[in-house]
Amino acid sequence: MQNPFENAMEQLDKVIKIKDFSKEFIARLRQPDRDIRISIPVKMDDGSVKVFEGYRVEYNNALGPYKGGIRYHKDTEINEVKALAFWMTLKCAIANIPMGGGKGGITVDPKNLSSKELENLSRGWVKKLSDILGPKKDVPAPDVNTTGEIMDWMADEFEKITGEKTRATFTGKPLGKGGSEGRGPATGLGGFYVFNSLKVQLGLPEKCEVVIQGFGNVGLNAAQIFIENGHKVLAISDSKGGIYNENGLDINKLIEYKKTTGSLSNFPETKNVTNEELLEIKCDVLIPAAFENQITGSNANNIKAKIILELANGPTTPDADEILFSKNIPVIPDVLANSGGVTVSYFEWDQNLKGEHWSEKEVFDKLLPLMNDAAQKTFEKGKEYKTDLRRGAFILGLKRIEEKI
Ligand code: NAD
């Protein structure tokens, strides 16, 4: 497993080779403002106490309060959280929202915890960090394996400790508990808006064949949105593997199938594929929507997609980027492609602070122009500097941050 923070810094290095930024600014961006590690003692159902390791990285707040999700995963560690916080800093700048970058996490496999233990753990994370959180300071959200229910527990714990009642400290909360309409599909929908905005410029057909890695919030919503808009999803996977049908999948039937069998395997009229095989299927749009380091120097040469739309964070390593660029396979980078999630999180924060509740239509109507603008400005920067979309997006975001620092 490559170190995601080293990869993030390598991406930055590649950008400063083609565009001048002040040395002081770049030096500042090589370190988070602070990274915090905490230990969280949790009372388990059998009466014992288990201690978990947790993190919050506050990367940069030049544009606004630190903002970024909390990941629960057995492999989560500080370098991953730092990388995710760095990318959040750029993402908010690229989407042009007044938020800085942060990220949090806990090293835990939540599947091994009961609901009560998960609640104790989540409240424990807030107890240790309540001093640094707040609507104008640091605003967390969900990420891998964290849900609206977890955000609700966290918001409740924060309110108990501080008395702060706006609920604007956590986003991604359930509807009726201060959540925003449209937050669920926001990342997938934002990715779809970005794809649509660039479709013609990237030479894609009117109706595309799509392959998706990941069957969680992002992958599943993306699958539904692409299908609703007339595209075909040929293959999709979860952590155990995926399924493929060259004529397209019925996602709603597949959701029911996974609910009853617990897996995607052997879904009727499909072929089982491994996650490695899935990435190499011939298609128009390949969407990694699971984890970092999926497209690497060892498989990039085998990618047969026309473009890659990165809805996961950090799925393509820097060496794979070079191979894909030389093969003329554009990569719509994570910092642009998945910025719809944080944008609707920002809308939720804004609604909480103003005491408003916007309709789903209002939310999507505000999201669309921001995504179109970010996509087109990224494309223009790529063209101006004769480089790939990742470097184009970085240049756009870095310039906006540098102006405010
Ligand atoms: P999730 O926990 O809802 O889903 C993750 C999915 O990935 C699950 O279906 C899981 O089975 C699958 N998975 C796990 N390991 C895998 C593997 N090795 N190969 C294939 N699939 C695997 O998480 P999510 O919220 O959908 O996040 C997915 C990615 O999108 C992450 O990189 C996350 O940082 C990024 N992202 C999420 C949001 C958001 O709003 N949730 C916003 C921006 C970016």
**Which atom of ligand 1 lies closest to the CA of 345?**
40
User: Ligand 1 site: residues with CB under 6 angstroms?
Assistant: 142-145, 187, 213-219, 237-239, 275, 289-291, 311-313, 338, 341
| Residues that are catalytic | 103
Phi, psi angle pair for 201, to nearest 5°: -60, -30
Phi, psi angle pair for 104, to nearest 5°: -140, 175
What is the pLDDT, as a whole number, of residue 1?
Answer: 73
Distance CA 183, CA 193 (A): 15
Nearest to 175 by CA among 351, 372, 391, 403: 351
CA of 383 to the centre of ligand 1 (A): 31
CA of 380 to the centre of ligand 1 (A): 29
Helix (H, G, I), strand (E, B) or coil at 234: strand
What is the pLDDT, as a whole number, of residue 361?
Answer: 98
Residue located nearest, by CA, to atom 28 of ligand 1: 290
- Going by their DSSP bridges, the two strands 49-60 and 101-107 should be labelled as antiparallel
CA of 372 to the centre of ligand 1 (A): 24
Cβ-based neighbour number of residue 148 at 10 Å: 18
Residue located nearest, by CA, to atom 34 of ligand 1: 313
Ligand 1 pocket test: pick from 67, 192, 225, 239 the residue with the most ligand atoms within 8 Å of its Cβ. Answer: 239
Strand order in the sheet with 305-309: 271-273, 241-244, 232-238, 209-213, 283-288, 305-309, 331-332
DSSP designation for 109: -
Residues 6+ positions from 71 with CB-CB distance below 8 Å: 80, 81, 84, 103, 104, 105, 106, 143, 144, 145, 146
Question: pLDDT by residue for the chain (405 residues), tens digit each?
Answer: 789 999 999 999 999 999 999 999 999 999 999 999 999 999 999 999 999 999 999 999 999 999 999 999 999 999 999 999 999 999 999 999 999 999 999 999 999 999 999 999 999 999 999 999 999 999 999 999 999 999 999 999 999 999 999 999 999 999 999 999 999 999 999 999 999 999 999 999 999 999 999 999 999 999 999 999 999 999 999 999 999 999 999 999 999 999 999 999 999 999 999 999 999 999 999 999 999 999 999 999 999 999 999 999 999 999 999 999 999 999 999 999 999 999 999 999 999 999 999 999 999 999 999 999 999 999 999 999 999 999 999 999 999 999 998
What is the pLDDT, as a whole number, of residue 8?
Answer: 97
**H or E element in which residue 7 lies:** helix 4-18
CA of 222 to the centre of ligand 1 (A): 12
Cβ-based neighbour number of residue 386 at 10 Å: 9
CA of 343 to the centre of ligand 1 (A): 18
Under a CB-based contact definition with an 8 Å cutoff, are residues 68 and 104 in contact? yes
Ligand 1 pocket test: pick from 109, 118, 238, 292 the residue with the most ligand atoms within 8 Å of its Cβ. Answer: 238
